[in-house]
Amino acid sequence: MQRFLLTVDKLSTLVGHAFSFLIVLLTLHVSWEVFSRYVLGAPRAWAFDGMIMLYGTLFMMAGAYTLSKNGHVRGDVLYGFFEPRTQATIDLILYFLFFIPGVFALTYAGYFYAAESWAINEHSNITADGPPVYPFKMVIPIAGAFLLLQGLVEIIRCVICLRDGAWPSREEDVEEVDVEKLKEMVHADEAMLDAGAVVRETAR
């Protein structure tokens, strides 16, 4: 079972990692657009559409990844103080009460929304001759499906936690506040400065 959980985790992570590079693309795209417009005087008509699509795809496709890393913001006034079993009970109930209906409805509706757009070969109307929109709309059901899959895994996690009394493990990932890493960063720099001081001392 744990293997299945970790496999799905890996899948979500892989997808999330792959799509997270869109931020690099987005940065370069907008930077280039700024340069092109202000310096070269040659704005590109589809720049705005491109921007929107990169950003929208980025955050939608990262939804499952964020869930797999437990990264969605939680109200932490009580949750953190609960026993793991209590946490799992609450989560389990609320996954069925809130998560499944919400995300399922989104995926289901998104599928027809995108299919409709595809059927009429919809193009963006922000500029004349805009890029096609249906691939962008397809992102909703795809992201929703990944999210549902990850949600299923989280539900199983809750059940395991109820049985064992402890949360099953997750995949490691970069953390926003990774104390070890930050320590390293500070000390690496410190060592450098100290070494510099030593060099100066000996030179004197």
Instruction: Rank residues 3 and 174 by Cβ distance to other proteins and give the closer one.
Output: 174
Q: Which residues contact 43 (CB under 8 A, 6 or more apart)?
A: 33, 36, 37
Q: From the CB of 162, what's the least distance to other proteins, in Å?
A: 16
195: helix, strand or coil: helix
| Cα 197 from Cα 204, distance rounded (Å) | 11
Closest Cα partner for 75 from 63, 59, 87?
A: 87
- Candidates 8, 110, 150, 153: give the one binding other proteins (CB under 8 A): 110
Tell me how many degrees the CA angle 30-34-38 measures, rounded to the nearest 5.
Answer: 170
Touching other proteins, residues 30-89 (CB under 8 A): 30-31, 33-34, 48, 51-52, 55-56, 58-60, 62-63, 65-67, 69, 71-82, 87
Select from 1, 2, 21, 43 the one that contacts other proteins (CB under 8 A).
Answer: 21
Q: Using the minimum distance from each CB to other proteins, give the nearer residue, 2 or 27.
A: 27
Residue closer to other proteins, measured from CB, 3 or 180: 180
* Span near other proteins by CB under 8 A; candidates 4-12, 132-140, 164-172: 132-140
Residues 150-179 that bind other proteins (CB under 8 A): 173-174, 176-177, 179
Q: Scanning the structure block, which residue is given the tokens 């209590």?
A: 86
Q: Does 102 bind other proteins (CB under 8 A)?
A: yes
**Number of residues in contact with other proteins under rule CB under 8 A:** 84
CA distance 169 to 171: 7
CA distances from 140 to 5, 58, 110, 115 (A): 24, 11, 5, 11
